[in-house]
Amino acid sequence: MGDQYYPLSEFKIEPSMSDLFWQEKVKRAIKDTDSRETLREIATMLCEISIKRQAVVRALIRDMFELQGVHITGAEMDVPELEK
C-alpha cells in the first residue's frame, strides 16, 4: 500500500460546540477577575492544556505518517514567536 496524500483543507478544523462553550467560560472568568493570582492560575492552566493537546496532535500525526502512510499537504503551520 502506497502513501496517501490529503490536503489540509479536507480536514475539519473547527472548534466543537463544547470547546466554544469552554472558551466563553474562560473568557468570562478572565474578564470578571481582579486578582493577579487568579489570572496567573488561569494562564498556567491554559498553558498546560495547550501543551497536552499539542502532544495528542503530534501523536495522532505520527500515527498517520508512520502506521497509516498518510501525509498532509499544505500544512505549513509556523508558530509565531511570542513578542517580547
Confirm whether 78 is domain-assigned.
no
Q: What span, in angstroms and rounded, lies between the C-alpha atoms of 31 and 39?
A: 10
Q: What span, in angstroms and rounded, lies between the C-alpha atoms of 58 and 34?
A: 36
Specify the number of domains making up the chain. 1
Whether the model clears a pTM of 0.75, i.e. scores above it, the answer is no
Confirm whether 84 is domain-assigned.
no
pLDDT tens per residue, range 24-79: 999 999 999 999 999 999 999 999 999 999 999 888 877 877 777 776 666 555 54
Q: What span, in angstroms and rounded, lies between the C-alpha atoms of 84 and 81?
A: 9
Confirm whether 40 is domain-assigned.
yes
Confirm whether 63 is domain-assigned.
yes
Domain interval for residue 25: 4-9+16-73
Confirm whether 82 is domain-assigned.
no
